[in-house]
Structure 1
Amino acid sequence: MRKLSILLAIAFALSGPAKADFAIPGFELVYTTPAETTLSNPDLRDPVTVWCEMLDAAKTDIDIAQFYVAGKTGEALDKVIAHLAAAGERGVKIRFLMEEKGKSASEMKSIERLKNIPHLDFRFMEFGKLRGQGIIHAKYMVVDKAIAYVGSQNFDWRSLSHIHETGLRINDVAMVRQLHSIFDIDWQAQALLTEGKAVPALNQSVVLADQSQSAYLVASPNAFNPPGIGDSESELVRLLAAATSEVRITLLDYVPLSYAPGRKRPYYAVIDNAIRAALARGVRVRLMVSNWNTEEPAIHHLKSLALLPGMEIRIVNLPQASSGFIPFARVIHSKTMSIDGKLAWIGTSNWSGGYLDNSRNLEIVLRNEAMAKRLADLHEQTWQSPYAQPLEIQKNYPKPVKG
């Protein structure tokens, strides 16, 4: 017995510390630690572990929607695709919906690998045919209509290793069913578009979220949300309007501009006005963005916002990997907000025009102090790190090198 105990102790020591999971009923916070940084969080599981666990548990069906697909031999997404293939080989029915415009960002070998998985139906959808300049920007999966994942992680090896990302594993039954209904609507819309048929809007007026719920899903665009799901754009404004003391925001970038034909960038005031109104009431706002946000004209809008009392902005520069420059990586890409230490917002949308109004995006609102505090602590970790520096009004920032 003593010998067995010693062997078990040695095995545990060799395996390293078990990674805990921070969860509240129905929701687990999931986080990608950018490799070779000090931003680890041992109480948060990583998306590869969570996704593979979900795929391994699948019995009947898996639905996945993504903006693009980009694998690399030997990297983390390889493992995810292998587990997805294993599910298909077990007879699990898989539907994979990808944005047509995401082809330019994709690695086609990975897409072909997905298409060759048994029982997997892969479709491209040009979401802009529904909503002008819109895209499928949501990143989510639904397994057996019983469990789901929503987060900032793209189906990209870099998102799983070299980018600051945040998401939620969801087993709240009602919300999972809503996510499944959104996927069904977009899947059916893709079929109609392929046949050259019109896709009728589901909502003619803005549908407000039911704020009496402690946990609820909002989505965009409002016109193509199923019954019972509120509009994410109007909900973000309502939540900011209700803030009383502090708002913490983490984003890839923030710019009050939209997209229009001819490469035009019309002004998009919706979120900017809401933040400025909160500041005018005396609410403290801490906005953290990646160094990608220093390009023009976005940087000028950031500087304008930074002039207001109560507004703090920090730019995050993650160090390059020791292996060398990785295109479109080494940035913060999370889309999160915590309000007054009471409310958490975790989603897939960038905060600029074209995302919360025209594109398919998903956001989860949790009125839970434990989750709000954990999200605020996650924000504070990067905020206080050597990677985050206050925005300097007088500084001429160099154009960021993305790819």
Structure 2
Amino acid sequence: MRRLYFSVLVASLFAGSAHADFTIPGYELVHTSPVETTLTNPDLREPLQVWSELFDGAKSEIVIAQFYAVSKPGTAFEKVLASLTAAGQRGVKIRFLLDQKGVGLSEASTIAQLKAIPNLELRIIDFNKVTGNGIVHAKYLAVDGKVAYIGSQNFDWRSFEHIHETGLKITEPAMVGQVQAIFEQDWQAQALTAKGEPATVRNSTTVPANYAQNAFLLASPNAYNPPGVGDSQSGLPALLAEAKSEVRIQLLDYAPLSYGPNRTRPYYAVIDNAVRAAATRGVKIKLMVSNWNTEAPAIAYLKSLALVPNVEIRIVTLPVASTGFIPFARVIHSKTMSIDGKLAWVGTSNWAGGYLDLSRNLEVVLRSEAMAQRIAALHEQTWSSSYAQPIDINKPYPKPAKGTPE
């Protein structure tokens, strides 16, 4: 019956979409449907269109923060770079913040291309110097202080064609201002840490969000959040504690593990405890992760979670592109949640240690039935597809092919 409900909901959302967009006041849901899959969503605009539109409309300033940057000649992503270049050429000031660890994942030619854009200042921040073991994992931008974008999309041509991604275009003034303030905080942190000085600590104690709001921003790490921005690490468990009937979650990775020295994976139970507590109360948990999550030791924890009553886990494997294997692509990368069909979460964090505590990430929370149900329907589309399979606790999963073919 529930599957029928979601099928009807998706059909009604798609019906008569004269122009493709799904919006509530102040927020538009934006989505990349991986090419050569059945996961199409005619009512959702693609980030290729939205990002290009934002850059084309910029009048004074664009700020962008990303983990890494990879372009490829001849791909659709070139339109985004062309729009960004055109903005710089007409005098728009562009500030681009890139993470030091992400430089190793970036293409040197792409960084050179960015540096060549007129009026663009590129800074590399070593977030390790801010928190001791973190990265700028957030993927966001703001234009003219009036519109922002937060989502799972990296500044990567593959994220616009071959990866399942979800984000939000934001025009609500208060949240846009908070996004801008986070960028300014990290831009200043880069300047300070580059001189060997510590980044300015904003909060010495945990700052919870005002959970009664209809829309609010969570971010990490808490110590470096500007005023008005709630703490992600305490916010996620607090929202899960509200759940009464069903939580739908889509992620690249889920594991109660962090990242330590020498490739160690210290135990990190904050999120896992909250998920298990919700299931124990009788809340149905539908957790969908990518096939990259089958790597040891994370797969052992997924199998353990699957044994908990009221928890269902499905693993999604997208088919190889017709052009052949593409490194670090053909995967679900969206980070979304719907609680009871009433609350929507769209963010940049994987659900593991190191993301909500030590790294820069942003999460948008909306108390909107329309957005929550659209996120749930997007989840159901993949959940019920041929690409998603229930986790098999007796199966020895092979090491996933990420950067090289099997």
- TM-score by length of structure 1 reads 0.95
The separation in 2 between residues aligned to 1:75 and 1:207, in whole angstroms, is 42
Q: Which amino acid aligns with 1:23?
A: T
Partner of 1:325: 325
Shift of 1:19: 4.4
Match of 2:35 in 1: 35
Alpha-carbon distance in structure 2 between the residues aligned to 1:121 and 1:45: 29
Shift of the alpha carbon at 1:198?
1.8
Task: Write out per-residue CA displacement over residues 151-184 of structure 1, whole angstroms, 9 at most, x where no aligned residue.
Answer: 0000000000000000000000000000000000
Query: For the residues of structure 2 that align with 1:18 and 1:317, how far apart are their CA atoms?
Result: 32
What is the match of residue 282 of structure 2?
282
Q: 1:198 maps to which residue?
A: 198
Match of 1:260 in 2: 260
After TM superposition, the structure 1 = structure 2 runs for residues 366-385 of structure 1, keeping only pairs within 5 Å, are 366-385=366-385
CA distance in 2, matches of 1:108, 1:185: 26
> Counterpart in 1 of 2:77?
77
Q: By how many angstroms is 1:261 displaced?
A: 1.5
Which 5+ residue runs of structure 2 have no aligned equivalent? 1-16
Q: TM-score scaled to structure 2, two decimals?
A: 0.94
Tell me, in whole angstroms, the C-alpha distance in 2 between the residues paired with 1:204 and 1:142: 27
Larger radius of gyration: 1
Identity of aligned residues (%): 66
Note the alpha carbon deviations across 1:136-160, whole angstroms, 9 max, x for none.
0000000000001000000000000
List structure 1 runs of 4+ shifted beyond 4 angstroms: none
Matched, 1:233 2:198: no
**2:161 equivalent in structure 1:** 161
Q: Look up the equivalent residue of 2:153 and give its one-letter code.
A: Q
Q: Equivalent residue of 2:204, what SS?
A: coil
1:115 equivalent to 2:153? Answer no
CA-CA distance at 1:212 after TM superposition: 1.8
State the aligned residue count: 387
Match of 1:144? 144
Shift of residue 267 of structure 1? 0.3
What secondary structure does 2:96 align onto? strand
RMSD over aligned Cα atoms: 0.8
Question: Residues of 1 paired with 2:284 and 2:262: CA distance?
Answer: 38
- Conserved in 2, the CA contact under 8 Å of 1:65 and 1:183? yes
Aligned equivalents of 1:96, 1:347: Cα separation in 2: 20
Q: CA deviation at 1:242?
A: 0.8
Residue number in structure 2 paired with 1:343: 343
Amino acid at match of 1:164: H
Counterpart AA for 2:199 = V
Q: Label 1:19 to 1:36 Cα distance change in 2 as closer, same or farther (>3 A).
A: farther
The runs of 5 or more residues in structure 1 that have no matched partner are 1-16
Greater alpha carbon shift after TM alignment, 165-174 vs 100-109: 100-109
**Matching residue's letter, 1:314:** R
Given residue 146 of structure 1, which amino acid in structure 2 is its aligned partner?
Answer: K
Write out per-residue CA displacement over residues 7-42 of structure 1, whole angstroms, 9 at most, x where no aligned residue.
Answer: xxxxxxxxxx86410000000000001010000000
Structure 1 position 133, deviation (Å): 1.3
Return the alpha-carbon distance in structure 1 between the equivalents of residues 90 and 337 of structure 2.
39
Spell out, residue by residue over 1:304-360, the C-alpha distance to the aligned partner (whole angstroms, 9 max, x if none).
Answer: 000011000000000000000000000000000000000000000010000000000
Q: Which amino acid aligns with 2:220?
A: S
Counterpart AA for 2:294:
T
Contact persistence 1:138–1:360 (CA under 8 A): yes
Deviation string, structure 1 residues 207-238 (Cα, Å, up to 9, x no partner): 00011210010100000000111001101000
Aligned to 2:217: 217
For the 8 Å contact 1:19–1:44, the answer to whether it is kept is: no
Aligned to 2:52: 52
Cα distance between partner residues in 1 of 2:284 and 2:228: 32
CA shift, 1:253, in A, is 1.1
Letter paired with 2:261: P
Whole-Å separation in 2 of the counterparts to 1:59 and 1:97 = 20
Supply the AA of the counterpart residue of 1:48.
L
1:164-183 map, 5 Å: 164-183=164-183
Q: Determine helix, strand or coil for the equivalent of 2:160.
A: coil
Q: In the alignment, what sits opposite 1:364?
A: 364
In 1, the alpha carbon distance for the partners of 2:219 and 2:390 equals 32
What secondary structure, in the 3-state scheme, does the structure 2 residue paired with 1:121 have? Answer: strand
1:20 aligns with 2:20: yes
Specify the alignment match of 1:90 in structure 2.
90
